[in-house]
Amino acid sequence: MTNPVRLIKVRESIQADNDQRAQVLKSELKAVKTLMINLMSSPGAGKTSLLLQTTGRLKDEHRMAVIEADIDSSVDAERLAASGVEAIQLQTDGFCHLDVMMVTQALDTMDPRAFDIIFLENVGNLVCPAEFATGAALDVMILSVPEGDDKPLKYPLMFSKCEALIVNKIDYLDTPLTDFDLELLEERVRKLNKEIRIFPLSCRTGEGMEAWTGWLAEKTAEHNG
């Protein structure tokens, strides 16, 4: 059984008070025991694959929904809905990030209390989404091995603001295709963000998924408990 995808065309927040709105939304979601997670990455790093794998593994113990941001399509939301997850598609019509106004427009179409976890799949972009609060309690980013271990040098704000970094596509590490150095990456990331949790994994093979979903389950209990 697949859920229908709700489609919402959003307008960008013009308020200068996005940060303040984000604090309010964060408190409201805390009060109703719903953990909202803002998931960010470059295009093609594996946001939708991670969400498919994660919701598949956590669905017996958690009620989950996904709010998908896409500039001009709904392919990701359809993949998620086909897997049985509640999925809402936000069409950002060219915007390069999500803000609180956009997220609120999606939340207004659902009952957040009906979910333990709501994932925001932000626009695929390592720059702009790092600058705009969404109201999520946790910011999580994905870096995929083919992108290279130098990305913390180039997109420092993104690495600085996240509670967790998922290093996806670690199955590429065993090939001659890449010279990605996981230790060097960690060293570069720690210079920006000492506390960040790092989860190397492969959405394709499932390797490393349990450390990530275990942490997520803990964080959910902590937030909603």
According to the binding rule CB under 8 A, does residue 173 interact with a copy of itself?
A: no
According to the binding rule CB under 8 A, does residue 19 interact with a copy of itself?
A: no
According to the binding rule CB under 8 A, does residue 206 interact with a copy of itself?
A: no
Q: How far is the CB of 51 from a copy of itself (least distance, A)?
A: 15
Give the residue with the Cβ less far from a copy of itself, 177 or 221: 177
Per-residue binder mask for a copy of itself (CB under 8 A), 69-88, x = binder = -xxxx-x-------------
Could you give phi then psi for residue 34, rounded to 5 degrees?
-125, 120
Stretch that binds a copy of itself, among 57-65, 108-116, 133-141, 171-179 (CB under 8 A): 171-179
SS3 87: strand
**Could you tell me which residues come within 8 angstroms of residue 75 by beta carbon, excluding any fewer than 6 positions away?**
none
C-alpha–C-alpha distance, residues 205 and 191, integer Å: 30
Give the residue with the Cβ less far from a copy of itself, 25 or 77: 77
According to the binding rule CB under 8 A, does residue 184 interact with a copy of itself?
A: no
According to the binding rule CB under 8 A, does residue 150 interact with a copy of itself?
A: yes
Rounded to whole angstroms, what are the CA distances from 165 to 42, 144, 178, 198?
13, 10, 20, 5
**Could you tell me which residues come within 8 angstroms of residue 55 by beta carbon, excluding any fewer than 6 positions away?**
64, 66, 80, 83, 85, 119
Which of 85, 89, 124, 209 touches a copy of itself (CB under 8 A)? 124
What is the token pair recorded at 116?
């333990």
According to the binding rule CB under 8 A, does residue 51 interact with a copy of itself?
A: no
Give the DSSP H/E element, type plus range, for residue 153. helix 151-154
Rounded to whole angstroms, what are the CA distances from 150 to 140, 155, 163, 186, 188?
18, 9, 19, 10, 8
Stretch that binds a copy of itself, among 9-17, 102-110, 139-147, 207-215 (CB under 8 A): 139-147
Give the residue with the Cβ less far from a copy of itself, 79 or 197: 79
By CB under 8 A, the count of residues binding a copy of itself is: 34
Give the DSSP H/E element, type plus range, for residue 18. helix 18-31
Task: By CB under 8 A, name the binding residues for a copy of itself.
Answer: 42-44, 70-73, 75, 94, 96, 123-128, 131, 144, 146-148, 150-151, 153-157, 169, 171-172, 175, 177, 204
